[in-house]
Amino acid sequence: MAMLTRRTLMKGALVAGAYAGGMSLAGQLGKPASAKAATTLLTRRTDALITDKGPTRAAMTYGDAEVPPVLRMRRGLPFALRLENGLDEPTTVHWHGLRIDNRMDGVPFLTQPYVYGGDGFDYAFTPPDAGTFWYHPHCNTLEQMGRGLAGVIVVEDPTDPVFDAEIVLNLRDWRLGGDGQFIAQFKPRDAARAGTFGTVRTANWRQTPQYDAPAGGLVRLRIAATDVTRILTLNVDGAEALVIAADGNPTADRFKLDHLMIGPGQRLDLALRMPDSEGAVAALMDLRGTKPATLVTFRATGASLKRNLQDLPALAANPLSEPDLSAATEIPFILSASAEERPKDGICGSLGYNFWAINKVPWADDSGDPTAPLAEMKAGRTYIFNVENPTPQVHPLHLHGLVFKPMNSNKQAFRPHFSDTYLILPDEKVQLALVADNPGDWVFHCHIIEHQKTGMTSYVRVT
């Protein structure tokens, strides 16, 4: 195939920057992602054009545009950002999947104080890994994420393969009534089950948007599942798509996308080979549930570039520590339902119920006085989390600040891969092996936010 050059990369980047909602902060500033430029990120209320019923009022967003910006960083280069809170309630920012200093992790009471309305907080860190990540609040999380606060992070590496275009997809739902306005964010009965589903599905805050990309070209799709509830089974119709990275880390081998399930918090990087004929359309589908849903379409433009997926170079591996299984300490984590009474002093958006627990402890997350860590680990040592899910629900379990390698499931076969979020099935037992190489208090919770907020949260300590 024709060599992909730096120039085609730039063209691709520009194309991607023009996609609605895929705008990068760096793009807005008119310069590439840079180490030094401190940026301000404002949280605020906004009207949003999500449905054809007119503006949805009182959505929440980051930044000046309607849709939260794609934050671009460089692997190994310092990044700084000042959060300005323009809301009338406290917030924080958590950088999902980034292995950074614990003080920057954005969990109120555990790693930092509230950022009150009208106040700010300076985040500064150096992302060690390249890939697709995302950011969101960790305070009044169901309400704030449900109303819009979730954006995608792209950590670039200068050695990243060059694509003809890049499209960033922030996949999420909204709880809107027939008039296009917000309805109650959850139903307690559903919170005790799979979670309360949204009524309107979007990509980059639009219903089934269509993006143009060069015919016969290779497109890097960076997909982040940022919804508070929905699990997806992704497929691409009308084009070939290879999985090249999952949850921020390159896969050991690329493989054809085929009904891949991802849960809230997870990411998927695909290499999409656009159809050759101008005007041909490919579609990203969710095949979970009874009715297939078209999430996004991609239309081929121009004469075919005639690229070949097989010519695409591999992504560089991230610098992750391989667990030493010969010297590992095992730690049990058992998920369960809970009916323990909720503390009355809930703050930071307590839902007022306990439905879930880890090791029988429902997290009193909103009390300002966290429960004890469920495990204490020594820095640099290998641990194996023996996680059991005897509940009837699927849970996307997310660990902050560290990555693990799933092994030995009684339900799933998988390729060796590092991740920060594991989708555990009902009746599954799985081992998550990790090196405790980042000191601090790290939250370990379900990313179905209603489960998180009604008890399925804990934290581990690395010293």
Binders of Cu ion among 382-411, rule CB under 5 A? 395
Closest CA to 158 of 15, 40, 6: 6
Structural tokens at position 106:
């954005």
Q: CB under 5 A: which stretch of 251-259, 416-424, 428-436, 438-446 binds Cu ion?
A: 438-446
Q: What is the DSSP letter of 312?
A: P
Q: CB under 5 A: which stretch of 277-285, 313-321, 345-353, 450-458 binds Cu ion?
A: 450-458
As a dihedral over the C-alpha atoms of residue 44, residue 50, residue 51, residue 55, rounded to 10 degrees, the angle is 30
The least distance separating Cu ion from the CB of residue 456, rounded to whole angstroms, comes to 5
What's the rounded Cα separation, in Å, for the pair 158 and 449? 35
Spatial contact of 185 and 197, defined as CB atoms under 8 Å apart = no
Mask for 185-214, x = binds Cu ion (CB under 5 A): ------------------------------
Q: CB under 5 A: which stretch of 61-69, 171-179, 416-424, 445-453 binds Cu ion?
A: 445-453
Which residue lies nearer to Cu ion by CB, 175 or 451? 451
Mask for 276-295, x = binds Cu ion (CB under 5 A): --------------------
Among 137, 451, 460, 462, binds Cu ion (CB under 5 A): 451
How big is the site for Cu ion, counted in residues (CB under 5 A)? 4
Closest CA to 251 of 160, 321, 317, 312: 317
Which residue lies nearer to Cu ion by CB, 192 or 433? 192
Which residue lies nearer to Cu ion by CB, 395 or 453? 395
Q: Is 351 in the site for Cu ion (CB under 5 A)?
A: no
Spatial contact of 72 and 26, defined as CB atoms under 8 Å apart = yes
Which residue lies nearer to Cu ion by CB, 147 or 453? 453
The least distance separating Cu ion from the CB of residue 337, rounded to whole angstroms, comes to 11
Q: Is 448 in the site for Cu ion (CB under 5 A)?
A: yes
Compute φ and ψ for 387, nearest 5 degrees. -100, 130
Helix (H) or strand (E) holding 27: helix 25-29
Which residue lies nearer to Cu ion by CB, 60 or 448? 448
b/e map 392-402, b = 16+ CB within 10 Å = ebbbbbbbbbb
The least distance separating Cu ion from the CB of residue 351, rounded to whole angstroms, comes to 13
Q: Is 154 in the site for Cu ion (CB under 5 A)?
A: no
Q: Is 445 in the site for Cu ion (CB under 5 A)?
A: no
Q: Are strands 39-48 and 79-85 parallel, antiparallel or unpaired?
A: parallel
The least distance separating Cu ion from the CB of residue 446, rounded to whole angstroms, comes to 3
Q: Is 446 in the site for Cu ion (CB under 5 A)?
A: yes
Q: Which long-range contacts (CB under 8 A, 24 or more apart) does 364-368 make?
A: 365/452, 365/453, 365/457, 366/453, 367/343, 368/109
| Site residues (vs Cu ion, CB under 5 A) | 395, 446, 448, 451
